[in-house]
């Protein structure tokens, strides 16, 4: 239904069309249309200028890492990672772009360079900095890279060294990517199901302290991701030949996300503003994969079995990117059409998979990230 103001404008135009000569009326109408268009362009220009000033700071794991993990250790620096974008391995845990890249694109800025490239100088980091390291979590995990607390320490160090000023942070956004690495480490170190609830509470409590600290350092908006459906990752669905998601792992995810959403809501109440927002990665994954219950729907645009990864090791002991240490022979296989696979490897979405997730997130990002 049209607004009352719309009816008034229509009535006014009808009155003018009867009260004044037609040539003058048409000229007046054209002028009003030009003015309305100009106002729209001005609003768009102001928004673009505002976005051009945005600084994006990224914390988290391999879903957000764009090249921080050491080349000597991370599989993300091995072929065939990066074959779709940028065309060679560049430290992303995918064949192409990851979550960070798509959010930066939405904001209209280049993807912020990883912290490890800070030697290139301040000008190279005009749009922010990426502190995320693959394999890490809120706490220490099975890798030796910086956990989230240490990542925030690195960010604070940049502020203390005046790489970024308080004015820079006036239009800043932080994205905090929280995956399943904490839970993988918990189970790998003989964590019990009985202690899972308490462990989840500790993860969420530490995460709450982390996002409040980021905001306290001056970042205006802090967006934290829900956890992806762990039970739908190829590493888990392999037991069903990638036909179904695991209900057990997905229950773990749902419990984590429920606590996270409640905690972020409470943190906003405590702070008295809406500085903290949720990026619902869990829902976006399910939407992109057309998950119904624990099964993929027939309407998924990804070919064959959407839960099946594109790049796999030739045998169980190998993975995507593996090579024989003696001969240098490839010990992995890549599907013929990576663009039709949601998952790139056993854990990470492909370039097209991340694009599908971004497409599902995009409608909500405008009111979440743009202030």
Residue 214 buriedness (CB in 10 A; 0-12 / 13-18 / 19+): buried
Q: Name the pLDDT band for 34 (thresholds 50, 70, 90).
A: very low
Is the pLDDT at 20 greater than 60? The verdict is: no
Residue 218 banded pLDDT, cuts 50, 70, 90: very high
> How confident is the model over 240-264, as a mean pLDDT?
95
Query: Which candidate in 61, 101, 182, 345 is catalytic?
Result: 345
Q: What is the pLDDT of residues 70-114, one digit of tens each?
A: 999 999 999 999 999 999 999 999 999 999 999 999 999 999 999
Q: Give 224's pLDDT tier (boundaries 50, 70, 90).
A: very high
Residue/partner pairs of 228-232 with CB below 8 Å, 24 or more apart:
228/63, 228/179, 228/180, 228/253, 228/281, 228/282, 228/285, 229/253, 229/282, 229/285, 229/286, 229/291, 230/180, 230/183, 231/294, 232/285, 232/286, 232/289, 232/291, 232/294, 232/307
pLDDT at 370: 79
pLDDT exceeds cutoff 90 at 189: yes
Contact (Cβ atoms closer than 8 angstroms) between residue 97 and residue 63: no
In this model, does residue 27 exceed pLDDT 90? no
Per-residue pLDDT band for 338 (boundaries 50, 70, 90) equals very high
Domains in the chain: boundaries = 54-296+351-370
Cβ burial, residue 13 (10 Å; 0-12/13-18/19+): middle
Nearest to 217 by CA among 177, 260, 164: 164
DSSP string, 120-168: G-GGGGTTEEE---TT--SS--SS-S--HHHHHHHHHHHHHTTSS-TTG
Residue 4: pLDDT over 90: no
Which of 232, 280, 226 lies closest to 255, judged by CA? Answer: 226
Residue-level pLDDT at 292: 62
- Check residue 278 and give its pLDDT: 98
Whether 345 is catalytic is yes
pLDDT surpassing 90 at residue 33: no
How far is 305 from 44, CA to CA, in rounded Å?
A: 42
Whole-number pLDDT of residue 122: 77
pLDDT of 2 > 70? The answer is no
Q: Kindly tell me if the per-residue pLDDT of 329 is higher than 90.
A: yes
If pLDDT is split at 50, 70 and 90, which confidence band does 119 have?
Answer: confident
Instruction: Flag whether pLDDT at 153 surpasses 60.
Output: yes
pLDDT of residue 51: 55
- The rounded mean pLDDT for the chain is 87
Average pLDDT over residues 172-185: 95
Residue in the structure block whose two tokens are 């798509």: 102
Higher-confidence residue of 62 and 292: namely 62
Q: Can you tell me the mean pLDDT for 337-343?
A: 95
What is the pTM (predicted TM-score) of this model? Answer: 0.85
User: Can you tell me the distance from the alpha carbon of 277 to that of 265, in angstroms, rounded to the nearest whole number?
Assistant: 8
Q: Which residues, 6 or more positions from 356, have their beta carbon under 8 angstroms from its beta carbon?
A: 288, 301, 302, 342, 349
Give the helix/strand (H/E) hosting 313: strand 311-313
Q: Which CATH superfamily is domain 54-296+351-370 in?
A: SGNH hydrolase (3.40.50.1110)
- Which pLDDT score, from 0 to 100, does residue 304 have? 76
Catalytic residue among 348, 350, 351, 355: 348
Q: Is 348 a catalytic residue?
A: yes
pLDDT in tens, 37-51: 434 433 443 444 445
Six token digits for residue 327: 């001969």
Burial of 353 (0-12, 13-18, 19+ CB in 10 A): buried
The residues, ordered by sequence, that sit 6+ positions from 119 with a Cβ below 8 Å of its Cβ are: none
pLDDT at residue 352 tops 90: yes
Mean pLDDT of 153-175: 95
Q: What phi and psi, each to the nearest 5 degrees, are found at residue 176?
A: -115, 110
pLDDT at 94: 98
Q: CA-to-CA distance for 71 and 69, rounded, in angstroms?
A: 6
Average pLDDT value for residue range 120-136: 92
The one catalytic residue in 61, 62, 282, 319 is: 62
Q: pLDDT by residue (tens digit) across 49-60?
A: 445 689 999 999
Q: What is the pLDDT of residues 9-18, one digit of tens each?
A: 444 444 444 4
**Burial state string for 73-102 with b = 16 or more CB within 10 A and e = fewer than 16:** ebbbbbebbbbbeeeebebbbbbbbbbbbb
> Which one is predicted more confidently, 348 or 20?
348
276 forms beta bridges with 222
**In this prediction, what percent of the chain has a pLDDT beyond 90?**
75
Q: Residue 181's pLDDT band (boundaries 50, 70, 90)?
A: very high
Spatial separation of the C-alpha atoms in residues 123 and 128, rounded to whole Å: 10
- Per-residue pLDDT averaged across 309-322, rounded? 96
State the pLDDT confidence band at 290, using cuts at 50, 70 and 90.
confident
The greatest distance separating any two alpha carbons of the chain, rounded to the nearest whole angstrom, comes to 91
Share of the chain above pLDDT 70, in %: 83
Comparing CA positions, the residue from 244, 341, 255, 259 lying closest to residue 294 is: 244
């Amino acid at each position: 239904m049209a607004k009352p103001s719309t009816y008034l404008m229509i009535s006014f135009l009808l009155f003018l069309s009867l009260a004044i000569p037609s040539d003058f009326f048409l000229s007046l109408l054209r002028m009003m249309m030009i003015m309305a268009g100009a106002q729209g362009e001005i609003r768009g220009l102001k928004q673009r200028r505002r976005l051009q000033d945005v600084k994006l700071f990224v914390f988290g794991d391999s879903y957000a890492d764009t090249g921080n993990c050491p080349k000597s250790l991370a599989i993300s620096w091995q072929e065939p990672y990066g074959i779709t974008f940028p065309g060679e391995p560049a430290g992303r845990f995918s064949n192409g772009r990851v979550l960070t890249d798509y959010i930066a694109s939405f904001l209209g800025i280049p993807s912020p360079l990883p912290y490890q490239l800070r030697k290139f100088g301040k000008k190279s980091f005009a749009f922010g900095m990426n502190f995320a390291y693959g394999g890490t979590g809120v706490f220490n995990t099975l890798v030796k890279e910086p956990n989230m607390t240490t990542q925030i320490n690195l960010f604070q160090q940049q502020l203390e060294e005046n790489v970024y000023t308080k004015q820079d942070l006036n239009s800043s956004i932080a994205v905090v990517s929280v995956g399943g690495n904490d839970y993988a480490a918990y189970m790998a170190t003989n964590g019990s199901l009985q202690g899972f609830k308490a462990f989840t509470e500790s993860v969420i409590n530490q995460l709450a302290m982390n996002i409040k600290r980021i905001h306290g350092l001056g970042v205006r908006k802090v967006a934290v991701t829900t956890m992806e459906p762990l039970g739908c990752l190829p590493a888990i669905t392999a037991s069903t030949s990638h036909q179904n998601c695991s209900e057990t792992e997905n229950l773990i995810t749902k419990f984590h996300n429920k606590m996270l959403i409640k905690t972020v809501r409470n943190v906003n109440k405590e702070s008295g503003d809406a500085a903290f927002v949720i990026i619902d990665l869990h829902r976006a994954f399910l939407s992109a994969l057309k998950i119904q219950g624990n099964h993929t729907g027939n309407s998924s645009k990804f070919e064959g079995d959407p839960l099946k990864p594109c790049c796999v090791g030739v045998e169980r002991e190998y993975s995507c990117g593996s090579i024989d240490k003696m001969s240098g022979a490839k010990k992995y296989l890549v599907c013929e059409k990576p663009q039709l696979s949601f998952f790139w490897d056993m854990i990470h979405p492909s370039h097209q998979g991340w694009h599908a997730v971004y497409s599902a997130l995009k409608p909500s990002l405008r009111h979440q990230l743009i202030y």
